[in-house]
Amino acid sequence: KYEKLWLIFGVGSLILFLVILAIGAFYKEIHPPSHMDTIDPKNVQEHESFKEENLGLRQVGENEYIVNVLSSGFYYDLGKDENDKAVNTIRIPVGAKVLFQTTSTDVVHGFQIAGTNVNMMVEPGHISTLETVMQKPGTYTLLCNEYCGSGHHYMAATVEVF
Ligand code: CUA
């Protein structure tokens, strides 16, 4: 007699659990921790943030900057300097608020500025964004921490906070 009761209780709590899970997953739309917008990885430059002239460091306020980066094997595209050379170092004033925006044109890459709280996964089809304040002066390395192929180890750039 009691077995049947327990069985009902067991099945009942299982259903309840699944319902809660379903509500959590679909109704609240649980997202991965970093906010992401979608983008066509084949046409990244159609997106305003990743047009060639908008790549790299841009000042958008008194002490506010945006850094748009195209991540691809095995290179962070930070735009070109006035001599048309590829930029490999960005210089950010200490205390500045910086919004990093990046996307991948091919495979999954990492986007980590070693020694800071900047650490993102870069996926094709998504825009990874992270806002931070550069707190400590120094020379930091932006590097890829997701294995992405034979040139993975060369995928790096320099961030100077001064
Ligand atoms: Cu890109 Cu490893």
Whether 28 shows a pLDDT value over 70: the answer reads no
**What ipTM was predicted for this assembly?**
0.99
Q: Say which residues have a Cβ less than 8 Å from residue 94's Cβ, sequence separation at least 6.
A: 134, 135, 136, 137, 161, 162
Nearest CA, atom 1, ligand 1: 109
Residue 150 has pLDDT above 90, yes or no: yes
Could you tell me which residues come within 8 angstroms of residue 25 by beta carbon, excluding any fewer than 6 positions away?
Answer: none
Q: Which atom of ligand 1 is nearest to the CA of 74?
A: 1
Summarised one tens digit per residue, pLDDT across range 114-129 is: 999 999 999 999 999 9
Average pLDDT value over all residues in the chain: 92
In this prediction, residues 60-66 reach a mean pLDDT of: 96
CA 38 to ligand 1 center in whole angstroms: 20
Q: Find the residues whose C-beta lies inside 6 A of ligand 1.
A: 74, 109-110, 144, 146-148, 152, 155
Segment among 27-31, 65-69, 155-159 with least mean pLDDT: 27-31
Mean pLDDT over 32-40 rounds to: 70
DSSP classification of residue 85: P
